[in-house]
Every structure is written in C-alpha cells, then in structure tokens.
Amino acid sequence: MVKAVKGVFVTGTDTGVGKTLVATLLLRAFGEQGWRTAAMKPVAAGARRRGSAWINDDVERLRAAASVRSPRALVNPYCFAPPIAPHIAAGEAGVSISLPRIREAYRRLARNADIVVIEGAGGLLVPLGSNSDTADLPRLLELPVVLVVGLRLGCINHALLTVAAMQARGLQLAGWIGNCVLPRMARRAENIEALRERINAPLLGVVAHRRGLNPRPSENRLDIDPLIRVISERKPN
C-alpha cells in the first residue's frame, strides 16, 4: 500500500501543448526542495526500437528529470510505435491497456519516491480503450490534477471545457500552468487574465516560449507550494 498521496497528474488542453516540458519542470522544482522524485507516463505512442525495447522521447526526458532512477517498464507500462491515438495504437498491437497494471506500476514507483509526477496522453478525454480514457487515471490513482494550457488562439475555450470535464468526473484541479507554445500571441496577457478569472485553481506559472526541447528551470520558475498543500491535505490512497 502507498502510505500517502504521493503524486500529481499532468494533463493538457490538447496534444502538443507542452505536458512533458511542464512535467520535467515540476520534477525539477520538487527536487530542488529536497523531494525524491519519480516520473511516469503510463501510455506513450510514438516510439523507436532500441534493442529489445521501444523508446519514446517524452518518456526519456521524464526519466532524466527525475531524481530516482526507475525501470522503464514502470515509468512507461505501455509504449506503442506509431504516433497515433493510444487506443488505436493498442488495438493495432493487439493489446488491451489495463488500468490495474498502471496502478500497480504507480504504487511500485511511489515506494521509492516522495512524489511521482505522472503525465497523461494527449488531452483529458483521450480514449485508452472502449470503456476507459485518460480521465480515469487520476481518479483511479486518487491524485490531484495539474492542467497545462497551451497559450494560443482558442485556449480559453479549450481550458474551460477541460476544467468542466474534470468537475464532471469529480477530479481535483490543483493548479494550472500556461505554456507559451507560440513565440508571439495577440493579447496573451488578457487571455491569461481571463483564465485566472474563470478557473477556480491557482495559476502556478507561465512557461516562456523556447525553441528546442530542454527547459531552463531558472527562466521558468513554477510555484509548487499550492501543490504541496494539496498533497499534504489529501488522505492516503
């Protein structure tokens, strides 16, 4: 049994909004405060073969950002070659994504870490099978959610729809992070303010636009204190 709530689940308003970038920043922020961190991406699609293993770049970045080295099989229980919707990739591979298997991998990771940062696949309602989707994961693991909002035209609608979906599923939104996916966005500050007024959860930070895949933590400080409070207040799994 996991002795306490020991994780946060990172989802996004869409695919390609910077969930992996934000998850690595969260891992490093927790690590800077002395937390032993582990990473997890339960389902990944888009991989290349290395020996007998399938390698997904997002998974490798998450593993590199964590302070606890964990087996790839626990960090990423399901990895598929084609970069397509997970339930389609799983179907083509003849695989059924098992939520209990994901829960067991999470529990094993949590035994050796103070906190596990878990990144979902795509947006909140991306299907994982005929009767499951990404929203089932934070509910199954009983974890608070961090929402990554890709700051571009349309982000207000996408963010508010995602928040509404969380509320309908009974999920706890612990905070949200804006990611500047474009070098310039018309009325970016006004969009952020509109979201702050409408999302009943703290803004944990705004990540600056940057070319390349490696974040600079010094340029993108996140306020993780609200997350620590949520984690400490939640009951054990």
Reply yes or no on whether 19 is catalytic: no
Burial of 234 (0-12, 13-18, 19+ CB in 10 A): middle
With H, G, I as helix, E, B as strand and everything else as coil, classify residue 54: strand
With H, G, I as helix, E, B as strand and everything else as coil, classify residue 149: strand
With H, G, I as helix, E, B as strand and everything else as coil, classify residue 78: strand
Q: How far apart are CA 152 and CA 147, in angstroms?
A: 15
Using CA atoms, how far residue 118 sits from 58, 83, 97, 134, 222, in Å, is 12, 19, 16, 11, 17
Supply angle C-alpha 205, 58, 183, rounded to 5. Answer: 45
Which one of the listed residues 3, 6, 19, 41 is annotated catalytic?
41
Active centre residues (catalytic) = 41
